[in-house]
Amino acid sequence: MRTVTRNILINVSLAALLMQCVEPFEIEIPGGSDFIVVDGLITDQPGPYVVNISVSSPLGFNDAVPVNDASVSVEEEGGITETFTLESPGQYVSSSLQGVAGRRYRLLISTRDGSRYQSDWVTLKPSPPIDSVYWEFDQRRSMEGQVEGVQFFVDTHDPENNTKFYRYRWTETWTYFAPFATTLDYLGDLKTAIRDYNRTCWIDEASRVINLASSQGNVKDVISNQSLNFVSTETNRLNIRYSILVEQLVMNEDEYNYWKGLKETNAETGELFDKQPQSLISNVVNIDNPDETVLGYFSVSGVSTQRVFIQRGDLPEGTTVKSLYAKCELIELEFSDPFSLAEREVLRNIKWGVWMFVNFSGPAFLVTTPECADCTIRGGYTTRPDFWVD
Amino acid sequence: MRYILLFFALYLLPWLKLSAQISPLPITGKYNDMPLIEVFSQLEENYPIRFFYDPAWVDSISVSLEAEGLNLEEFLDKLIDGTDLEYHLEKSGRIIFTKGHKIVKLPENFFKEEIPEEPKRITYSIFDKKEDPELLRSVPDVESREFTIGDQPNASGEATISGYIRMSSTGEPLIGASVFITSPFVGATTNAFGYYMLTLPQGNYRLHFKSVGMVETTRKINLRGDGQFDLKMDEDIIPLDEIVVQGELNIINSIQTGRITLDQVTIKTMPTILGEIDIMKISLTLPGVQTVGEGASGFNVRGGATDQNLILLDDVVVYNPSHLFGFFSAFNPDAIKGAGLYKSSIQADYGGRISSVLDIAIREGSKKKLNVSGGISPVSAKVTIDGPLKKDTTSFLLGIRSTYSDWLLEELNDDPELKNSSAFFGDVIGKIHHQANNNNSFTLSGYHSQDRFVLNDDTVYRYSNTNVMCKWRKTINHRLFSTVSLGFTEYNYKISNETSPANAFELNYGIQNSTFKGSFDWLPNANHGIKFGLNTTLYRLNPGSIKPIGGESIVDPRILNEEKGLETALYLGDEYKYNDRLSIYAGLRFSHFGLLGPGRQFKYLPGFSRETQFITDTVSFGKGSLIKAYSGPEYRFSSRYKLRNQSSIKFSYDRTQQFIHQLTNTTAVSPTDTWRLSNAFVKPQIGDQYSVGWYRTFPAYGINISVEGYYKKVRNLLEYKSGADLLVNEVLETDVINARGKSYGMEVFFRKKSGKLNGWISYTYSRALVKALGPFKVEQINQGEFFPANFDKPHNLAVVTNYKFNRRINMSTNIVYTSGRPVTFPIATYQFRGNTYSHFPERNQLRIPDYFRLDYSVNIEGNHKIKKPFHGSWSFSIYNLTGRNNAYSIFARTEDGKVQVFQLSVFAEPIPTLTYNFRF
């Protein structure tokens, strides 16, 4: 039901009908823009768990201002209270805490100026297993026109009809090859060294969108055909082998509504008949000053996961997938033997990072650009992930 | 029809002075199949006589005639034998031909007018002697003649003159026509039957008669005792197709504050949007009437929500008064006679909404001749036909309007996403009026509108209004009038989406109501105008249903039970004229609302906010049983005191109640808004408004000025919890908050009605505030403090000017300035779960930039010659001439991980439109 309603509201993009215009708007905010932001998640998966404390910034300044001198702890009802330790700026990490389904937890914070914050008690709801994560090869319209790609879906259900509120996040991992990988590192001045052979890389990307599902209002606690990620063939992700790990986090209605509000206020406004933006209500309050605006949420979720792989060959025949290396070329440099003085001068001054030598045995030298010779330059890593199955 | 009335037109050619008296002269001649016109010219050459005629009447007539020594009359009798022409022979030798009606006697000064150089059209009304011996005069002459009223002087020295004022062409009563004397300024207006009553000291007066769109006229009367004086007024000759706002004709005299009449009058003024004349858009330039923005359906009156306006079309409620989500009014302007907007001083015969009444009347068709009018603009085409079904007794009107292309979508936007979108709207409006006799008339009117949109080949929206009304008006005697009407309204919408088989759904909503109204106007004497009656409305709602489409859909069918309610009101009001200066209206309306079974009502755990997890019990009610009832009195009071001849002050107080509420979670009215009835948790909204005003006219300059102030309080206003889900929600009470409203303001209206340059300036300062302070945190908005309502726009200025170059060309401009409305947009960014989000402050603490718009239009009328059956006019308009990007809303979006604030503008460029209108 909620899904249906949302679709309706999103689709009233009547703005489309109009001679309309959307342009950036400059604002000046009377009063401050600094509010405490609490971001914590406890799950039934093994820790450590992280709680981030920061202060919000004016619009346009995207860097969080971390709070490093707070005391952060999580209390298990009728159990221990574990104090988190500051690991990096604003980031507080647990040591031995392990979330257990059915138990209740709350977050306690005190800052240097003596403000004390506390969350509601939140019950850790167990997550039912994901029934399946599957995909379809599909087309969709985008600003660039028609694009092809893979649309992922998830199905799940709770036979107990208890879960109702779901959030999905995922991590994509894909592999790619640098076409002219080399073990040769040219140091300049005709000296070479052996370098790592960085041909195969893996790269991860975590989801950024808020993906919610609810079976509230349905007869059964069933989530069916829930759309997840769309992977376009305009990226290189599907070029060789691709994997997605889908995490299903379950929560109570209050947290669901928080996420829903977050999603609505942040992504879906702007059309003519959208809902009024809402001031979101955190489950964390200042004990001494309940009127203080607190941003963020302390989440406690049961989690279940499922991983899916896609091989290039799984795509329909004839599908073209964009490659990042389409422009890579191998260039042959011919020198006289022995080198002339001028040629020697050229070779001495060639620097790694501009040209990469694939073959340095002369008299013809093969060179290419570094990114075509080393996959890590594109941001990937070369250690094969544990979960990776070829 | 008591009078036979004739519009008699002549083209008077440059004129030969004819002074010779003619003796009966023998005419001899032989005409063989000769065109009559030639016969005339031959005769004019040979004899000292002259013919006057409309060439159109005679150009098809040929005569074969042999005359030997006939005298003129015998000859003329032969000449017209077998035609439907009549003639009148003047002593001077002038022979005037008429068609269908015989001139019995010409007014003495008929030919004494100065003869213009150029051919000129002159219109006279000539009354048949047999029908009305008293009025056997041309118009100017009637005005100079003295009529004696009554013959039995009253002991009091005063006498009451009363009567009906009707339109001469259709015989329909003129409502709101003024009857007055100028010194001292004493007057009366006609009621819904066209009846007026005026008490004056016995004596001689010049009585003035004025009504919008009619030729103003006067009569000399010698008032000796009580008596009746009826009048038929002629329509002004210039085209009548445009609706234009007419400030209240007698703002000084009427007792009501906050009343504006919109009438079909004679000038094209307001620049249009995309070529459509729009009652609703025009009313937005009047003081106290606002909208949240372009593209917003509905309007806000004096700080009231859009659902607090009672919009009546021929006495029947219209739930969605707009097409295309609010860009066009749902009413075909050609079929509309006029409208009255009541912002305060809502008299006891109106009820059911707390802010205002917009009472729109469908035009009655002509009982004389068939008329066709229409127009075409880039968006829509329309045609309206009216005329007699039975001459002088029964008339009909039928208007049809429809979009004929997706011009808007195709031309205004290049977005490929929209290639599969389409928008359609259309409406049909009709009316049959039957004047059974002088005392009984019957009206049947109907209206149907449809809208359909497909956005992005995806979701289909449809909505429709259907109204039917029949009314019987009876004059019981000259003191008592009755009106009985039955009405039916239906509003439906349907939204469907079949893109994904698993989620394919169809959402339906519908509301119907059936209304009975019985009302009596009783005029015991000229000092009292009493109205009493009964209104009942039976509501039937399908509050919403969601159904899956196809076998694969997993959408859970969800159907809310039908809601039924009965609203009944009894009312009595008296407009009492204490003396020439002071008039008082006092009214009482007693309303009762019952929510009827079958139905369910949930019980909630006491001490907790109403949320689904706190439902403890469900009470079921059987069919027809009373689930919840509310009732209460509504007091209506207004008074007027005349300061001097040309100014008055007024005060009013109204209490109004509303039992049906529109649920809207969005800034503007959207097609997914639903109406729900009051129940145990959603209490009736109650409004109390105090209003004062000062009014002044400068008749010599055609200027009216008014200044009004008001203060209004509303109880049980509906506000919504953050993220409330209002569609197909059975437990609506868990999402709504009981709030209070407060609004106040001052309105200044300056209007110049006559002259080459006319128009108005309206300025309003107003505030509209809301306070939601429930016992639980979720029921509080902004900590329970008053906060600005969505439509709180303190400053509003509209300047509408119209300049007439001549009868055919006029130019108008429209300037609108308003404060920006409150919005809630982000003021901070923060990091949460690896993403950047924006933080919104409390509701409505910020404002969008001020709004400014300038529109311009030129109207060119076709030739005014009456013999030309076809009249066309062109209208060229530019909406938003300066192309200012007025913000409709301010919003933020996370794009590329960065929060950005954007301004959305609608109609951000000048939009030129060319419209062609015609009638024949």
Secondary structure of B197-253 in HEC code, one letter for each residue? EEEEECEEEEEEEECCCECCEEEEEEECCCEECCEEECECCCCCCEEEEECCCCCCC
- pLDDT higher than threshold 50 for residue B128: no
pLDDT score at A99:
92
pLDDT score at B455:
64
- pLDDT higher than threshold 70 for residue B348: yes
pLDDT score at B106:
45
Write out pLDDT tens, residues B887-914: 877 776 666 666 677 777 777 778 788 8
Which of A344-358, B44-58, B264-278, B531-545 shows the lowest mean pLDDT across its residues? B264-278
What ipTM goes with this model? 0.82
| Window 298-327 of A, Cβ < 8 Å to B | none
CATH architecture of B145-233: Sandwich (2.60)
Q: How distant is the Cα of B518 from the closest Cα of chain A, in angstroms?
A: 40
- Is any Cβ of chain B less than 8 angstroms from the Cβ of A208? yes
pLDDT score at B716:
92
Flag if B893 and A267 touch (Cβ within 8 Å): yes
Q: Whose structure tokens read 């088989």?
A: B501
Structure-model confidence comparison of residues B671 and A5, the more confident one: B671
Proportion of chain B above pLDDT 90, given as a percent: 25
- Is any Cβ of chain B less than 8 angstroms from the Cβ of A7? yes
B456 contacts on A by Cβ (under 8 Å): 11, 13, 16
Q: How distant is the Cα of B725 from the closest Cα of chain A, in angstroms?
A: 8
A206 contacts on B by Cβ (under 8 Å): 834
Flag if A59 and B836 touch (Cβ within 8 Å): no
pLDDT score at B102:
55
Of B843, B898, B908, the CB nearest to A62: B898
- pLDDT higher than threshold 50 for residue B23: no
Mean pLDDT value across chain B: 79
CA distance B250 to B263: 14
C-alpha distances out from residue B12 to A160, B51, B114, Å: 96, 10, 11
- Is any Cβ of chain B less than 8 angstroms from the Cβ of A18? yes
Pairing of strands B898-906, B558-559: unpaired
Of B418, B502, B827, the CB nearest to A29: B827
pLDDT score at A6:
35
- Is any Cβ of chain B less than 8 angstroms from the Cβ of A10? no
C-alpha distances out from residue B390 to B336, B367, B397, Å: 22, 7, 13
Please name the amino acid found at residue B660: I
Write out pLDDT tens, residues B608-656: 678 775 788 889 999 989 999 999 999 999 999 988 767 889 999 999 9
Q: Would you say A97 and A106 are in contact if contact means Cβ atoms under 8 Å apart?
A: no
Q: Would you say B475 and B230 are in contact if contact means Cβ atoms under 8 Å apart?
A: no
Interface test with A, best of B722, B878, B900 (most A CBs within 10 A): B722
- pLDDT higher than threshold 80 for residue B275: no
A134 contacts on B by Cβ (under 8 Å): none
pLDDT score at B363:
86
Nearest CA in chain A to B891: A270
C-alpha distances out from residue B647 to B177, B228, B522, B584, Å: 19, 29, 28, 16
B520: CB partners within 8 A, 6+ apart: B480, B481, B482, B483, B530, B531, B532, B533
A296 contacts on B by Cβ (under 8 Å): 830, 832
CA distance A192 to A184: 7
Which of B119-123, B500-504, B566-570, B628-632 shows the lowest mean pLDDT across its residues? B119-123
Check whether the bond before A48 is cis (ω within 30° of 0).
yes
Flag if B723 and A295 touch (Cβ within 8 Å): no
- pLDDT higher than threshold 50 for residue B105: no
Q: How distant is the Cα of A174 from the closest Cα of chain B, in angstroms?
A: 21
Nearest CA in chain A to B783: A291
Which of B145-159, B294-308, B420-434, B798-812 shows the lowest mean pLDDT across its residues? B145-159
Q: Would you say B62 and B31 are in contact if contact means Cβ atoms under 8 Å apart?
A: no
Write out pLDDT tens, residues B279-323: 777 778 888 888 877 766 788 999 888 889 999 999 999 988 888
Interface test with A, best of B837, B880, B885, B890 (most A CBs within 10 A): B837
- Is any Cβ of chain B less than 8 angstroms from the Cβ of A162? no
Flag if A54 and B830 touch (Cβ within 8 Å): yes
CA B760 from chain centre, in angstroms, equals: 18
- Confidence tier at B766 by pLDDT (50, 70, 90): very high
Write out pLDDT tens, residues B438-468: 889 999 999 999 988 876 667 788 889 999 9
pLDDT score at B18:
34
Q: Would you say A92 and A70 are in contact if contact means Cβ atoms under 8 Å apart?
A: yes
Q: What is the CA radius of gyration of chain A?
A: 27
- pLDDT higher than threshold 80 for residue B678: yes
Q: Rounded to the nearest 5°, which phi and psi values hold at B638?
A: -150, 155
pLDDT score at B2:
32
CA distance B676 to B670: 15
Of A24, A218, A274, the CB nearest to B901: A24
Q: How distant is the Cα of A199 from the closest Cα of chain B, in angstroms?
A: 30
- pLDDT higher than threshold 50 for residue B115: no
Interface test with B, best of A11, A49, A207, A257 (most B CBs within 10 A): A11
- Is any Cβ of chain B less than 8 angstroms from the Cβ of A2? yes
pLDDT score at A301:
94
Write out pLDDT tens, residues B852-879: 999 888 888 776 555 566 778 888 888 8
Q: Residue B690's closest CA among B650, B645, B741?
A: B650
The stretch B372-392 carries a mean pLDDT of 88
pLDDT score at A368:
77
Flag if A270 and B902 touch (Cβ within 8 Å): yes
CATH number among 2.130.10.10, 3.30.70.3000, 3.90.1150.10, 2.40.170.20, domain B259-919? 2.40.170.20
pLDDT score at A31:
63
- Is any Cβ of chain B less than 8 angstroms from the Cβ of A272? yes
- Is any Cβ of chain B less than 8 angstroms from the Cβ of A146? no
pLDDT score at A237:
92
CA distance A248 to B885: 44
Of B325, B722, B727, the CB nearest to A261: B722
Of A11, A12, A21, the CB nearest to B885: A21
User: DSSP assignment of A31-100, as one string?
Assistant: S----EEEEEEEESS----EEEEEE-B-TT----EE--S-EEEEEETTS-EEE-EEEETTEEE-SS----
CA angle B772-B773-B778, nearest 5°? 85
pLDDT score at A14:
39
B455 contacts on A by Cβ (under 8 Å): 11-14, 16-17
pLDDT score at B454:
77
- pLDDT higher than threshold 60 for residue B135: no
Please name the amino acid found at residue A332: E
Write out pLDDT tens, residues A81-109: 999 999 999 999 999 999 999 999 999 99
Q: Which residues of chain A have pLDDT under 70?
A: 1-21, 27-31, 62, 141-145, 187-190, 217-219, 266-278, 333-339, 346-365
pLDDT score at A388:
93
B651: CB partners within 8 A, 6+ apart: B257, B638, B639, B690, B691, B692, B693
Flag if B832 and A17 touch (Cβ within 8 Å): no
Of A4, A273, A279, the CB nearest to B840: A279
Give the CATH number of domain B5-129. Answer: 3.55.50.30
pLDDT score at B55:
67
Domain boundary assignment for chain B: 5-129, 145-233, 259-919
- pLDDT higher than threshold 70 for residue B569: yes
| Window 58-117 of A, Cβ < 8 Å to B | 58-62, 64
Enter the tokens of residue B418: 């929209």
B832 contacts on A by Cβ (under 8 Å): 37, 39, 262, 295-297
The stretch B707-711 carries a mean pLDDT of 95
User: If DSSP codes are grouped into helix, strand and coil, which group holds residue B900?
Assistant: strand
Domain boundary assignment for chain A: 31-126+250-303
Write out pLDDT tens, residues B213-264: 777 788 888 888 888 888 888 876 443 333 333 334 466 777 777 777 666 5
